[in-house]
Amino acid sequence: MKVLEGKSVFSGIAIGKIQVWKEETDQVKRVHVPDRNQELLRLEEAKEKAIEELKKLYHKAEAETGSSEAEIFEVHQMMLDEGEYIEDIKSRIRTESVNAEYAATAAGEHFADMFRKMDNEYMQERAADIQDITKRLVRVLSGEKKNRNVIQEPVILVAQDLSPSDTILLDKDKILAFVLKKGSANSHTAILARAMNIPALIQVPFSDDIEGSRAIVDGEKGKLFLDPDKEFLEKYTKEQVAEQEKQKLLAAFKGKETITKGGRRIKLFANIGSGEDIKAVLSNDGEGIGLFRSEFLYLGKEQLPTEEEQFQIYKDVALQMGDKKVIIRTLDLGADKQAPCFQMDKEENPAMGCRGIRLCLEHPQVFKTQLKAILRAGIYGNLSIMYPMITSAWEITKIKEILKEVKLELQEEGKPYKDLEQGIMVETPAAAVISDLLAKEVDFFSIGTNDLTQYTLAMDRQNEKLESFYEPGHEAVLRLIRMVIENAHKAGIWAGICGELGADTRFTEEFVKMGIDELSVSPARILPLRRLIRSMDED
């Protein structure tokens, strides 16, 4: 038996035969064209056909996954319809008199390389988007039908990487697990795996000769076992059956209160990254949304989203969730999240730079646009606003001044709105230490344990070399959390946790004893946490 190690994207056990995804390797030739206008016309016709294909993919993704996969095809349409990518192709045809296939390929390589060289992981993943739309455009131009990999039976799908288009066109009933040699937690395959609740590994160093091998994927340990012996296979088969039974038992907790045996009530909410994730929240019986990340409206976009665009999205979320609370976090860009529409300056230490509320206060008009959209959407549901990266009381004072201006502008414009509950994320030691002062200014606290741990331990949480030093449950972090909860309650407001630590069952009982009022976690963690909390004796 051979064991290959990678990184886990989604846990679970899969057992089956491996199928290796075959990469397309067709070379595009450079051809001189005498009539550049005719070539530009060919490009325009191919572009329109490709956009039509993408529209169909969007509707397929939206219907099948209920995840962020659908949104990416809208982005692809915009990239083909206008912007620097398509203009670069046209420029190459005009200046070099080359065929559209070659111009598209050259432009695609240029932009993909540009994205790969960026420091931000999210932006590096956009190289896959460029490659995907380039393949589509070249295929339409050449009039060729794509030679797709055929999956005839349930398999563990192994690939170098998968494009968004390839991923969404897969027959989901025939995918037992994903194993990628490349990829990241932000890749489209990773997003889909989480939406489908199937095991997935990335950065696994496999070779193509594993085609057809019997294998086991352990999504918890991040391992791929090739050609296991009978005894090892039986062991994992039993574990898989036990895991499946556990999932069935969890379904029994749907519709039940998240309450301890002693009568202590905990609100169990979900963290989501876009409106498409609401399906997962509802299917896992989330009691609300404790963290609605609004960055997806800005990331990868050349233009800032308008008030109306944002209003429609927030309104849709509010309507889908009905009476359930939805906490929208205002724009939290900076550090590891960069957006072209902002063109932020390069910083020596971005994690401690102009990010979160600092960026919003530096760009008050952008901030106002978002606040207007949220306040307007508030009349359609149970919305709250949460501000990230607060470190001082004066920031809250400034926010209130801007909020007052926003309300006056909405009144003058004749747009109805609703006054909403206001809260802050406590994710810096500074905010935790002065939480007694901050609690007097807001309606709730939500503790962002990811950044709180990073800043408390003076440790970059994305630095792989520091993994052995990184302690999410460090006593210093736990003391700060306890302090925040106590200060919140003294001021008569509630406190929750929306970071990864909130889903770590090693600390759930301790958080409940501290008096935590709410835990906001990924949708898939809601039912396991409910089962655990209902077994506790705390009152």
| CA dist., res. 383 & res. 443, Å (int) | 13
Query: What does 205-227 look like in DSSP terms, one character per residue?
Result: ---GGGTT-EEEEETTTTEEEES
Are 317 and 278 in contact, with CB atoms under 8 Å apart? yes
Closest CA to 232 of 207, 214, 246: 214
Local structure of 412: helix, strand or coil: helix
Are 478 and 452 in contact, with CB atoms under 8 Å apart? no
Local structure of 497: helix, strand or coil: strand
Neighbours of 355 (CB within 10 A): 23
| CA dist., res. 393 & res. 387, Å (int) | 12
Closest CA to 173 of 201, 149, 151, 150: 151
| CA dist., res. 331 & res. 176, Å (int) | 36
| CA dist., res. 457 & res. 474, Å (int) | 8
Among candidate residues 76, 188, 354, 360, the one labeled active-site is: 188
| CA dist., res. 56 & res. 37, Å (int) | 29
Residue with tokens 């609690």: 439
Are 157 and 178 in contact, with CB atoms under 8 Å apart? yes
| CA dist., res. 511 & res. 506, Å (int) | 10
Query: Which pLDDT value is given to residue 62?
Result: 66
Residue with tokens 């393949």: 135
Are 112 and 169 in contact, with CB atoms under 8 Å apart? no
Closest CA to 450 of 384, 388, 534: 388
Neighbours of 29 (CB within 10 A): 9
Are 523 and 286 in contact, with CB atoms under 8 Å apart? yes
Q: What is the 3-state secondary structure (H, E, C) of 299-316?
A: CCCCCCCCHHHHHHHHHH
Are 295 and 337 in contact, with CB atoms under 8 Å apart? yes
How many Cα atoms are found within 13 Å in the side-chain-facing hemisphere of 371?
27
E strand or H helix that includes residue 426: strand 421-426
Q: Which residues contact 501 (CB under 8 A, 6 or more apart)?
A: 449, 450, 453, 472, 473, 477, 507
Q: Which residues contact 479 (CB under 8 A, 6 or more apart)?
A: none
Angle at the Cα of 342 from the Cα atoms of 134 and 301, rounded to 5 degrees: 30
Query: Which pLDDT value is given to residue 233?
Result: 94
| CA dist., res. 233 & res. 201, Å (int) | 19
DSSP 8-state secondary structure symbol assigned to residue 187: S
Query: Which pLDDT value is given to residue 148?
Result: 58
Closest CA to 214 of 232, 197, 192: 232
| CA dist., res. 470 & res. 483, Å (int) | 22
Residue type, 202: I
Output the CA torsion sign for 236, 238, 243, 244.
Answer: positive
| CA dist., res. 163 & res. 411, Å (int) | 46
| CA dist., res. 43 & res. 103, Å (int) | 10
Query: Which pLDDT value is given to residue 18?
Result: 94
E strand or H helix that includes residue 281: helix 278-283
Query: Which pLDDT value is given to residue 67?
Result: 46
pTM for this prediction: 0.66
- What are the contacts of 242-250 at 24+ separation with CB within 8 A? 243/12, 243/13, 249/531, 250/527, 250/528, 250/531
| CA dist., res. 372 & res. 214, Å (int) | 56
Walk along the chain (539 residues) in steps of 10 and give the mean pLDDT of each run.
89 92 76 93 92 83 58 79 85 94 92 78 73 88 69 90 74 88 71 74 89 92 93 93 84 93 95 82 93 81 85 94 96 62 64 82 94 97 96 96 97 97 96 98 95 88 69 92 98 94 92 97 90 90
Query: Which pLDDT value is given to residue 514?
Result: 97
Q: Is residue 498 annotated as part of the catalytic site, yes or no? A: yes
E strand or H helix that includes residue 268: strand 267-272
Angle at the Cα of 253 from the Cα atoms of 248 and 254, rounded to 5 degrees: 95
| CA dist., res. 147 & res. 135, Å (int) | 12
Residue type, 21: W
- What are the contacts of 227-230 at 24+ separation with CB within 8 A? 227/1, 227/2, 228/1, 229/1
Query: Which pLDDT value is given to residue 349?
Result: 67
